[in-house]
Amino acid sequence: MAEKSTLSDSKSPPFVIKTVEMHTGGEPVRIITEGYPKIQGKTILEKRAYVRDNLDVFRKRLMWEPRGHYDMYGALLVEPDDKNADIGVLFMDNKGYSSMCGHASIGLGRYVVDKGIVAATSPQTELVIQCPTGPVKMWVDYQDGRSGRVRFHSVPAFVFALDQEVDVPDYGRVKVDIAYGGAFYAFLPDSSLGLDLRTAPVQAVRTAATAVTEAVKKAVPLRHPEHPDLAFFYGTIITDGRDEYDPTPTVQTSVFGDASVDRSPCGSGTTARVAVLHRRGQIEPSKARQFASGPTGSVMTGRPVRETKWGEFDAVIVEVAGNAYYTGTAESTVEPDDPLKNGFLVK
Catalytic residues: 101
**Dihedral sign (CA 176, 179, 181, 184):** positive
Instruction: Measure the CA–CA gap between 252 and 102, rounded to whole angstroms.
Output: 15
Q: Are 34 and 333 in contact (CB under 8 A)?
A: no
φ/ψ of 109, rounded to 5, equals -55, -50
φ/ψ of 273, rounded to 5, equals -65, -40
Side-chain-side CA neighbours of residue 198 (13 Å): 6
